[in-house]
Structure 1
C-alpha cells in the first residue's frame, strides 16, 4: 500500500477509493486513480511496485472478476480502509524505520509527504513539470509549481552547469602565509 502511494503520487483519498478493478495487471501495471472533481487518470507503476501489487491481489484472493468493485485495501474488519487508517499504518512503519536507525524520517510524516517526495524526486531527476502535473492529477501547472521548490542539491547543479566560476580554486600565495594571516588578524 505504501509503495503504491509513493509510486503513483496518489492523494490518500484516491488510494483508499481504489477498487480491485482499478488495477490493470498487464506487462506494465497501471492504476486508475479518480481524483478531485471525479477526474480520472491512469498511472503506470514501476516494476517492483507492480510485482508487489500482483502478489497482494493474488495473496488476498482478489483475482476473480467478482471482486472488481471490492476495495483494494481494507482494514481488520474487512471494510474499506480510511484516510486515518492509511496515516496510522504509515506512522507505524515510520516509527519502526526510526527504531532501526533509518534517517530522514520524522515523526510528522503524512501520506501527503510521500506525494510531495515523489514530485520532488521526479523533479530532481529532470522530469518535465508538465509530466509531474499529469502524474499528480493537477488541473493547473501552477498547483504543481508548489512542489517545484529547488533544494540545495538542485541549485548547486544548476549553477555549476550554467557557467564556469571565475574564482580560482587555488589559494593565492598570501593566503598560504600563516605569519601574514596572523599579523592581519591582529590589526
Structure 2
C-alpha cells in the first residue's frame, strides 16, 4: 500500500505544503508567501489549511507522516524551532508537538538546507556519493555535508549553517541575532 507524506517547507520567501508518496512522487503543492510577522498561532493555522488543501488536490484522505523544514536553527531531536530569521516570534517553538496533535501522525523537523542535502543524497547528484558538500544560496545561505556516507551535523547539529559564520565582527545585524554573519553581508 502506498504511503503518503505531507511536507511543509518554511523559507524566506514562501511556505509550501506538499503531498508526496513513498515512491518519491509529488502529488500536489500549495504555496503562499512568507509573512515575517505571522507568529506561532497563525503559522499553525496556515499549516492546517494548506495541508488540508494539498490533501484535497492530491485526492488523499489520509497521510502517514509529516516532515517540516525551516530556514534557521532547529532542534530536530526535540522538534523545536530554536529561531527563525524569516518569521518573527517563533523562538523555541514546539512545532512538532503542535502539528502531531492536530494531524495525529508522526512528524519530524529539519533545517531546510539539511533537508535539501538529504534529498540530494537520495534523489540527486549525491546519489551513491559518499563525500560531498551541498550549498544553498537563496533568501539565506546554508548547506550540508555527507562524509563517508553519513550526514555530518557537527558537535551542535549546525555544521551546515554557513550563512551564520561571522566574517565581519562589526558587520550588520543578522536575523540570527549576531553581527557580521555572511548572510547579513551577502
TM over 0.5: no
Q: What TM-score, normalized to structure 2?
A: 0.23
More helix by share: 1
Q: What TM-score, normalized to structure 1?
A: 0.23
Task: Flag the structure with more relative contact order, 1 or 2, with Cα contacts below 8 A and sequence separation at least 6.
Answer: 1
Query: Which structure has the larger Rg?
Result: 1
